[in-house]
Amino acid sequence: MSDAITLTGPYKTAEAKGKTRSLRTLVSIRRYASPLVLVCLWQVACSLGFLSTRLVASPLQIVVTGWTLVRDGTLPFNLGVSLLRAGSGLGLAITLGVALALISGLSRIGEDVVDAPLQILRTLPALALVPLYILWFGIGETPKILLVAVGAMFPIYLNLHKGIRSIDPKLVEMASTLGLSRWQTIRDVFLPGALPDFLTGLRYAVGVSWLMLVVAEQVNAESGIGHMMMDAQDFLRTDIILVGLLVYGVLGLMSDQIVRFLENTLLAWRPDGRKGRSA
């Protein structure tokens, strides 16, 4: 008849600890096992004729076609063209987005002049500009790169602008009591303070630029991964289309990893919990 209760955690022996560890490996294996099983089922369905190759090629066929496309240079060439387009578009987007965000973030007049039109423009779906771009710039590289640039610029601008505006005014005040010049304040306070938001914007921008690229290359192009896929459509080559999809997937994954790496390196000053959080 006592009011006291004893609170204890589960007592872990070495054996029990070993068990949890092996359980954890099992869980991670299970995560990869499920997609693997699905791919195997897909292969079996194709081999047994349940799935027509007109609808979807078998995984083995995709691997073989992929290898052939690499050997005859089709894939490297088209990949190079696509990467160049995405890269130059993104580069343009970063340059423009950062410049505009600095203008509108660092001065009130700049904000009035720059922010309002951009806020209006950002509500337009960038993809709807395609017909206009073709009329203006023809079907060369310019409209494709510009489409990527315009689409990717908005996430950069919006996030960096927000980042600059949300700098703690107390830090700016402190910089002023320390006698920092305007330029030093921008370099040491505003830019590093807005960097986390810029990187968030960059991650979105990279995703958007792939999206824009797919559309640009499928509407009118004579090269690039998107063109390769559209070409394959004419010949019912689902295997080539799927190779293209796979390449887009890998590109998206890799660029995300690069931005994540940048975040972990450049934002080392954050406490661990906030590093590399998923978007």
Partner 1 sequence: MTHTHSHSDPHPGTAVIVEQLTRRFNNGPPVLDGLDLAIAPGEFVALLGHSGSGKSTLLRTLAGLDPVTDGAVTRPREVSVVFQEHRLLPWKRVWKNIVLGQEDKGIRQRAEAVLEEVGLSHRSNAWPLTLSGGEAQRAALARALVREPAFLMLDEPFAALDALTRLKMQQLVADLWKKHGCAVLLVTHDVDEALLLADRAVVLERGRIRVDVPITIPRPRRHSDPGFEGLRSLLLDALGVHAA
CB of 170 to partner 1, least distance (A): 6
Letters for 94-133 (x = contact with partner 1 by CB under 8 A, - = none) are ----------------------------------------
CB of 177 to partner 1, least distance (A): 5
CB of 28 to partner 1, least distance (A): 31
Choice between 95 and 181, CB closer to partner 1: 181
Measuring CA to CA, which residue among 250, 243, 225 is closest to residue 57? 243
Residue 262 sits in the site that holds partner 1 (CB under 8 A): no
Name the token pair of 95. 């340059």
152-171 residues near partner 1, rule: CB under 8 A: 170-171
169-198 residues near partner 1, rule: CB under 8 A: 170-171, 173-180, 184, 188-189, 192-193, 195
CB of 153 to partner 1, least distance (A): 25
Report the C-alpha gap between 56 and 51 in whole angstroms.
Answer: 7
**Residues 226/216, Cβ–Cβ less than 8 Å:** yes
Name the token pair of 197. 């938001």
Choice between 24 and 182, CB closer to partner 1: 182
Q: How many residues bind partner 1 (CB under 8 A)?
A: 20
Choice between 188 and 256, CB closer to partner 1: 188
Q: How many residues does the chain have?
A: 279
Name the token pair of 139. 């079907």
Choice between 100 and 160, CB closer to partner 1: 160
Place of tokens 């994954």: 253
Choice between 52 and 181, CB closer to partner 1: 181
**Residues 78/224, Cβ–Cβ less than 8 Å:** yes
Q: Could you give the angle at which helices 59-71 and 14-47 cross, rounded to 10 degrees?
A: 80
- Binding residue for partner 1 (CB under 8 A) from 55, 108, 269, 278? 269
Mention every residue, 6+ apart, whose C-beta is less than 8 A from residue 46: 53, 56, 57, 58, 59, 61
Place of tokens 């299970």: 30
Task: Give residues in contact with partner 1 (CB under 8 A).
Answer: 170-171, 173-180, 184, 188-189, 192-193, 195, 268-271
